[in-house]
Amino acid sequence: MGRLDGKVAFISGVARGQGRSHAVRLAEEGADIIGFDICAQIDSAPYPLATPEDLEETIALVQQRGRRIVAKQADVRDTAAVKAVLDEGLEQFGHVDIVIANAGAIFGEVVPDMEWSAIMEGWQDSIDVMLTGAYTTVGVALPAMMTQGRGGSIVITSSTAGMKAMTGPADSPERALVGVGYTAAKHGVIGLMKSWAGSLAHLSIRVNTIHPTGVNTPFVVNDYMARMLAQVPGGGLQNALPVELIEPEDVSNAVVWLCSDEARYVTGVSLPVDAGILIK
């Protein structure tokens, strides 16, 4: 018996990293999966994003766990495309019980004498993907969740950067402007969570955010992030516990708990999985 037997989960950013890990762990606990990922490059992202091959690997891993999956390429900034993926999953599975708004990336890289248009492109992509994208992912699922009478769990991926600024002193306007879209978006989803937690509680739909420290995924382990962290005093992510990066499964285990009946009375919570970085 799995903790999520009979459940169906809708997950964004499912092709690799935390999204893939969530899909696999939920499948191990008995859930079927509806998922999507852009599987293409966004111009302002300074490192490679997921590919169609990554998505195929996620599909195979879920199926190896004996669960069903509908997973498609879709851009979280395209509401019609996101809704089309969910609708296909609903046609096959009949309901949706869990939403994990996970899609995210770093946008914008500091270079000398940046044009304002490039700075704004990174800002807008950050807000569109991680804040409006979370709004869209949850929003397209709400009609089914609110009318099917099954309750449910919504988990939005924030970050420790959603609870604490992770920047050092800026030595240029570019450094003060580029990258703050990530922090702004990750703070913003807490507002979404608190609003929905209050408005959906009477339907037994619980809404929470999760706040990881650095995770051992391509989001963090890439040349761009290595260059950025090298410029931070002390270097690296300064966790309190003696670990540089946590594993995606560490986050997924917390997500499984939030989505299970073990957390049936947990809503409106910002849950850190942060190796103690927020107490430093």
Q: Strands 98-101, 8-12: parallel, antiparallel or unpaired by DSSP? A: parallel
The one catalytic residue among 47, 182, 224, 265 = 182
Which DSSP helix (H) or strand (E) runs through 82?
A: helix 79-93
User: What residues contact 60, with CB distance under 8 A and at least 6 apart?
Assistant: none
Q: Is 265 known to be catalytic?
A: no
C-beta atoms surrounding 202 within 10 Å: 7
- What is the C-alpha to C-alpha distance for residues 89 and 67, in angstroms, rounded to an integer? 13
Query: Amino acid identity of 136?
Result: T
Q: Is 246 helix (H, G, I), strand (E, B) or coil?
A: strand
C-beta atoms surrounding 3 within 10 Å: 16
- What is the C-alpha to C-alpha distance for residues 20 and 14, in angstroms, rounded to an integer? 5
Catalytic residues: 182
